[in-house]
Amino acid sequence: MALKVDFQHRCKRRSDCGDLLLMNQILTVAIFVALATCVAIVLRYSQTRLEGDDPQILSTFMAILFTSGLDVGLVMFPLTEFPVYEAEAEYGFTNPLAIEFGFWGFLIWAFYFLTTFYFCIVEPKLKLFELGPIRWINNLTIIATCAFTGFLFLSYLPTYIDGISEIARYILVALVVLIAVCSSTDIRYVKWLSVGSTALFFALIALVWWVSGLSLKALVATAGNLSGYFANLPKFIAPLTDYHAFYLFWWFAWSIMIGQFVARFVGGWRVWHLLIALLVIPSLSIALWFSVLFFVHSEGIVLSSQIRLAMVTVGVIFVINSLDSLTRLYSENLLLTVARLGQGRYITTHWFLLFGLILLYQLTPLKIEWIGLVVIGLYGCIYTLVFRRRADWLSPKFDRTIA
């Protein structure tokens, strides 16, 4: 989820970035509807078992979800954002660690629960994503988001790697896209890379923890600041600021495509088990990482260039994970697969497509809010069609088929 860097400067005043009021109102309604739907699903189908076409054990599933749905922003942004949350009055109701966690953890993972449930249970019966307009809008959104992620990575590389040259930036991004496309040629590579990068992420946490001199007692005390998120949980449902809205639009932009991708790996768990797993397991990892970084920030510890390089390396691998998952998804949806094109043509086609779009994005004013609005519109279409076909969805016969 590569975001920010100069967002608060671009949108310091509402007039600088246009009238976002209507967009934020649409976003707020969409969030409430999505969360209400999650509650309704759990109340009605809590004991229903979900299983995908390629079921995995929980640890592998969570690794795929975690690394597909996040990228370098998770690793690099907190140290730059803690000072912003300390300084700006809008965030004064709690501490910076709670704010940072609220932008990345817990409740927003319910979006992925909603879409995973849909693609495990509803889509196989109604096949709405096989309808022409929905199919094309969904896949164009996936391609646009995939390339936009690469574009943001390209744009913000100088903030991750001090002194990187222009040529090195383009070479690194081209290499990242190439590795991601190669990884997407076989689903086994996607799974192996996800598990491996998750392990590297925990190794990075251990490394920064060690070099910071953080004791277990100090970690517990620092993590105690997270209670500020749960004490103010309702505040995080609607956008706190335009920057918070920026994050929420990004989560929406990714929610359908990630749910569609990871649904195949669900391993036969009950609905309520899946919800708890999605809310808790990624949030524990994020909470631990953010707590270590908040200690580093609070103590004024300057991380060495070697540690920052390790952070960038893990972040780059997360970017590769995100891109290979989405490339695998849209290539299957559009039948532009290795089996159809051959490995050489597959790699060449998708590398040129994605890297070409990354270069073109430099000439456009594209914003993630626009992609998020398109996805919210897609949600509206799906909700409408599900309601129109409610006789199938709500029939006892249908319930028995998913029990």
Closest to 68 measured CA to CA, from 112, 108, 103: 112
Going 79 to 195 to 177 to 55, the CA torsion angle's sign is: negative
C-alpha span between 142 and 374 (Å, rounded)? 11
Residues 6+ apart with CB under 8 A from 295: 212, 214, 218, 219, 222, 301
pLDDT of residue 255: 94
Closest to 37 measured CA to CA, from 375, 275, 307, 373: 275
Going 164 to 167 to 173 to 176, the CA torsion angle's sign is: negative
pLDDT of residue 397: 53
pLDDT of residue 14: 40
C-alpha span between 58 and 138 (Å, rounded)? 27
pLDDT of residue 393: 63
pLDDT of residue 395: 62
3-state secondary structure of 276: helix
Write out the chain's pLDDT in tens, 403 residues.
434 444 443 444 344 444 678 899 999 999 999 999 999 999 999 999 999 999 999 999 999 999 998 888 899 899 999 999 999 999 999 999 999 999 999 999 999 999 999 999 999 989 999 999 999 999 999 999 988 889 989 988 888 888 899 999 999 999 999 999 999 999 999 999 999 999 999 999 999 999 999 999 999 999 999 999 999 999 999 999 999 999 999 999 999 999 999 999 999 999 999 999 999 999 999 999 999 999 999 999 999 999 999 999 999 999 999 999 999 999 999 999 999 999 999 999 999 999 999 998 888 777 888 899 999 999 999 999 998 887 766 665 555 445 4
Look up the pTM and report it.
0.91
The encoded tokens of residue 235 equal 């505040």
pLDDT of residue 4: 43
Closest to 266 measured CA to CA, from 53, 70, 34, 75: 53
Residue 237 CB coordination number (10 Å): 15
Distances (CA, A) of 240 to 150, 159, 251, 265: 27, 26, 15, 34
Closest to 318 measured CA to CA, from 72, 118, 119, 142: 72
In the structure, how many helices (H) and strands (E) does the chain have?
A: 21, 2
3-state helix, strand, coil in the chain (%, to 5): 80, 0, 15
pLDDT of residue 9: 39
